[in-house]
A and B are shown apart, each in its own frame.
Chain A
Amino acid sequence: MPEPFIRFQNVNKIYKTKNGAVEAVLDATFDIKQSEFVAIVGPSGCGKTTILKMLAGLIPHSSGAITIGGQRVDKPQTDVGIVFQDSIMLDWRDVLSNVMIQIDIRKMDRAAFQPVALELLKKTGLEGFEKKKPYELSGGMRQRVSICRALVHDPPLLLMDEPFGALDALTREQISMDIQHLWMEKRKTALHITHSIPEAVLLADRVVVMSPRPGRIVEIMDIDLPRPRRLDKLPPKFNDYAGHIRDLFKSAGVLAMD
């Protein structure tokens, strides 16, 4: 049994505030295997974004161990592509240059990666928009550009922090499909943070369910559904999974049905 690609072992995150210590994440233990798509689902305040940021090395963890490929995470990780809730467009660059910033900053070969960027833009339906400025695009298109930016340098790990949070429902569904296609093609290890139960079940091989105050992992469940999963042809098992997660939230006191 090889060591999993990503490993969280008894990870805690405690913020010290004026009103005492706040436990943002308590005793988080889980693995992500190579090429696995894991989603963390939970209500706001459950520490799911904190987990992603600790994994990316953007904030330190208070105790426990986080490893990527056997290496301890103790500084910002650069072997990643991150999609944030906000698309974080560089308004002064056109669409293609917004993707290529990833290559420019890393001083990688521009000529070699420009075709990769163009191909990604094409796959996400942005062909013909390469020379547009971000303010000429819709919110959904901007988020697609940021997905291309996170993938262009071919990172071994893709992190997505509520990437659909600011989008309308239809756009959300379309981009979910785009992400599934890209993932099935490249099979990158992916961690997807969301507060949407259907979104987590639709995209993930495994779903980590979290409850808030303190942020704690309630259950980790395998999603055994064939791919590609289609929103118009969801099997009955899909609803079983979603229903089970909903039950977990109900018993954690997060959801009240009456």
Chain B
Amino acid sequence: MATLSTTTATRNVWMRRLLSLITPLAGTMVFLLIWQLGVIAFNVPAYFLPTPTRILEEAIKEISKLTNHGWITVYEMLAGYFLAVAVGVPLAIAMTSSRRFDEFVTPTMLFFQVVPKIAVAPLFIVWFGVGITPKILVAFLISFFPIVIDTAVGLRSMTPEMLDLARSMGATQLQIFREFRLPTSLPYLFSGLKVAATLAVAGAVVGEFVGADKGLGYLLLVTNSNMQTALMFATIVVLTIIGLIFFYIIEFLESLLIPWHVTQRTKEETPTM
């Protein structure tokens, strides 16, 4: 009797897992199907909106072009992103360690955040030419702010009671930072890293829009002026895939480094989410 109900329960769990895997896939398929049929039914010209199958065909045909330009963009994105981490995290530590320093840099930083990155990109071309540097800088600028802000919020999130506990143990400033403050900040740091990961791709593409002879942003401009709409769509898809993969890599790192974090926990409890 007991074994029977257990096996039924196990089967239900597997069914639910399978369903939660299939459901989003089915949704995507339905969306693509409506697109495909809509384009055919209304006889939409290919330069205006190509069918998904046409885009796939084009992507396969031009795969070497897409990957060659793709690697350039990935390189710019990663370089800008890691530069933002390398500068942003220490800056956040300095800001939270000294109120004076915080007051000193915050207005300037806010100014650089509010300035539209697209507006300063041409200036970077003047300064650094049409090479890879201005793209890295735009990717850096755009992903920098969420990293600094979220890290700073995280470093300030330690409760006064935890500080009291540390002081009652005779902890030094370095010990307080290493054993209490830094680990407490990690969930916030990672939420900044994830937001920045999605922005870094956009930064690299914006940099390429302004002046480039390679990269996916450049490919977008070329295909656009040549009316190669199918290849343009394929480029957009590749950009999206790059962004998604990057995001999930960071999320995977997060689940490795801070498995105790609340969002991870709620995910385990609600597998359908």
Interface residues of A (CB under 8 A from B): 53, 56, 58, 76-78, 80-82, 84-86, 88, 90-92, 101-102, 104-106, 133-135
Flag whether B167 is at the interface (Cβ < 8 A).
yes
Flag whether B103 is at the interface (Cβ < 8 A).
no
Most chain A Cβ neighbours within 10 Å, of B165, B258, B261: B165
Flag whether B89 is at the interface (Cβ < 8 A).
no
Q: Do the beta carbons of B165 and A88 come within 8 Å of each other? A: yes
For chain B, residues 123 to 171, give those with C-beta under 8 angstroms from any C-beta of chain A. Answer: 159, 161-162, 164-171
The tally of CB-CB contacts under 8 A between chains A and B is: 55
> Other CB < 8 Å A-B pairs besides A85-B161, A88-B161, 16 of them?
A53-B164, A76-B167, A76-B168, A76-B170, A80-B168, A82-B165, A86-B159, A88-B165, A92-B183, A101-B179, A105-B166, A105-B170, A105-B171, A105-B175, A106-B169, A106-B170
- In the bound complex, residues from chain A placing their C-beta under 8 Å from that of B258 are 92
- In the bound complex, residues from chain A placing their C-beta under 8 Å from that of B168 are 56, 58, 76-78, 80-82
For chain B, residues 247 to 270, give those with C-beta under 8 angstroms from any C-beta of chain A. Answer: 258-261, 265
Q: Do the beta carbons of A78 and B260 come within 8 Å of each other? A: no
Q: Tell which of A90, A102, A135 touches B183, judged by Cβ atoms closer than 8 Å.
A: A90
Count residues on chain B whose CB falls below 8 Å from chain A CBs: 21
Interface residues of B (CB under 8 A from A): 159, 161-162, 164-171, 175, 179-180, 183, 186, 258-261, 265
A161 to chain B minimum Cβ distance, whole angstroms, is: 9
B176 to chain A minimum Cβ distance, whole angstroms, is: 9
- In the bound complex, residues from chain B placing their C-beta under 8 Å from that of A105 are 166, 169-171, 175, 179
Q: Do the beta carbons of B180 and A82 come within 8 Å of each other? A: no
B255 to chain A minimum Cβ distance, whole angstroms, is: 14
- In the bound complex, residues from chain A placing their C-beta under 8 Å from that of B175 are 105
Q: Do the beta carbons of A84 and B170 come within 8 Å of each other? A: no
Q: Do the beta carbons of B166 and A91 come within 8 Å of each other? A: no
- In the bound complex, residues from chain A placing their C-beta under 8 Å from that of B165 are 82, 84, 88
